[in-house]
């Protein structure tokens, strides 16, 4: 709707073709497709279950699940990490009869997914876009995001301390077996996708090779891709491109970003989410370091600051509708704490 409205203000012309970052759209499509294929053979779930079985007490279980979600978001993106690992958290607390901690665990998994992906260009959709749009060197990208990443790890560990170290044991009762041949094939395809992100392989080659192989190996993975997310990118490219051509809007947003790019991007995420904020604000500033920090830190805060947060809330509400208020209170308290601490640290030390 936003894209259509701005089309009346800036009628479609040849400049529209320059709005789109085709490499970002291609990389996002390829990584999502391969991750769906890996999920279809239970790759991530089986791996995570093996780790969860090692937990000897409740606090260790929390820490393991948070770490799994945190690291998973670095590799398979935050929303996919939650779709994969939230059910594992539900299972673990159910079999150990500790359902009263479910809301707290889900919120921590949500925060870990939002913040874990910040370190890598492919960990969050907004990272993939900014990495490509500003052509940021890989070393510089990781250097910008390493400090908040380490602080996030520390805060998440601290957040597990209130959980009592209640001892328990979990018996393995899973029937799924890993298809090793397909796992190897999909891991190779995932590596190809990552090499495309890092500009080692041209994205056009990936767009030909990866979909063809997946079509014959697991065509359902191509159907399962989050095309809604790709559509959001597509239409926001139009929306942001048109706004950048309106002199009054350009002047207003540019002036705000000149005063404080970090704060504006953090606040923007609270109202329109982090991916749209990254696409929109990138058109009006060259300070990609502050913008990168802002749209990653800004993923915490309100329920709509990140798509991943809505996924977690929806999943929890389906499982425990009677605890919705409890979840929202815990979500607000923890997310505001993370948002304030990370934003303050960024203002004092990283910008």
Q: Tens of pLDDT along 309-333? A: 988 998 899 889 999 999 999 999 9
Contact 43, 178 (CB under 8 A): yes
Residue 240 — very low, low, confident or very high, per pLDDT cuts 50/70/90? confident
Whether residue 269 is predicted with pLDDT greater than 90 in this model: the reply is yes
pTM: predicted TM-score of the whole model, two decimal places: 0.86
Contact 93, 306 (CB under 8 A): no
Conformation bin of residue 42: beta by default, left when phi > 0, alpha when psi is -120 to 50: left
Whether residue 95 is predicted with pLDDT greater than 80 in this model: the reply is no
pLDDT of residue 170: 65
Three-state secondary-structure class, residue 286:
coil
CA distance 338 to 351: 18
Q: Tens of pLDDT along 22-78? A: 888 898 899 889 988 988 998 877 877 777 777 778 898 899 899 989 988 888 778
- In this structure, the number of other CB atoms found within 10 A of the CB of residue 94 comes to 12
Q: Tens of pLDDT along 273-291? A: 898 899 999 999 999 999 9
Alpha-carbon distances, residue 252 vs 235, 291, 306 (angstroms): 22, 17, 25
């Amino acid at each position: 709707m936003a894209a259509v409205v701005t089309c009346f203000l800036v009628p479609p012309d040849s400049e529209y073709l320059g709005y789109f970052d085709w490499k970002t759209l291609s990389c996002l499509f390829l990584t999502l497709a391969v991750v769906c294929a890996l999920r279809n053979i239970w790759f991530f779930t089986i791996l995570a279950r093996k780790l969860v079985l090692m937990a000897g007490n409740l606090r260790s279980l929390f820490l393991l699940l948070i770490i799994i979600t945190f690291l998973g978001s670095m590799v398979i993106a935050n929303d996919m990490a939650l779709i994969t690992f939230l059910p594992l958290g539900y299972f673990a607390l159910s079999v150990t009869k500790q359902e009263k901690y479910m809301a707290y665990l889900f919120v921590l998994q949500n925060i870990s997914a939002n913040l874990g992906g910040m370190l890598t260009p492919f960990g969050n959709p907004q990272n993939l876009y900014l990495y490509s749009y500003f052509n940021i060197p890989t070393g510089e990208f990781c250097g910008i995001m390493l400090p908040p990443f380490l602080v996030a790890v520390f805060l998440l560990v601290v957040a597990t301390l209130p959980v009592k170290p209640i001892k328990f044991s979990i018996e393995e009762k899973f029937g799924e077996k890993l298809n090793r041949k397909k796992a190897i094939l999909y891991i190779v395809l995932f590596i190809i996708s990552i090499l495309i992100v890092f500009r080692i392989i041209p994205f056009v080659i990936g767009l030909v090779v990866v979909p063809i192989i997946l079509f014959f190996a697991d065509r359902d993975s191509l159907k399962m891709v989050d095309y809604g997310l790709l559509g959001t990118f597509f239409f926001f490219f139009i929306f942001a491109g048109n706004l950048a051509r309106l002199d009054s809007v350009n002047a207003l947003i540019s002036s705000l970003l000149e005063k404080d790019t970090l704060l504006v991007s953090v606040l923007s995420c609270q109202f329109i989410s982090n991916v749209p904020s990254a696409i929109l604000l990138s058109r009006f500033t060259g300070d990609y370091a502050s913008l990168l920090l802002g749209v990653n830190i800004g993923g915490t805060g309100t329920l709509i600051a990140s798509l991943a947060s809505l996924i977690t809330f929806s999943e929890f509400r389906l499982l425990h509708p009677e605890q919705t208020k409890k979840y929202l209170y815990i979500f607000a308290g923890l997310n505001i704490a993370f948002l304030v601490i990370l934003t303050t640290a960024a203002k004092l030390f990283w910008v």
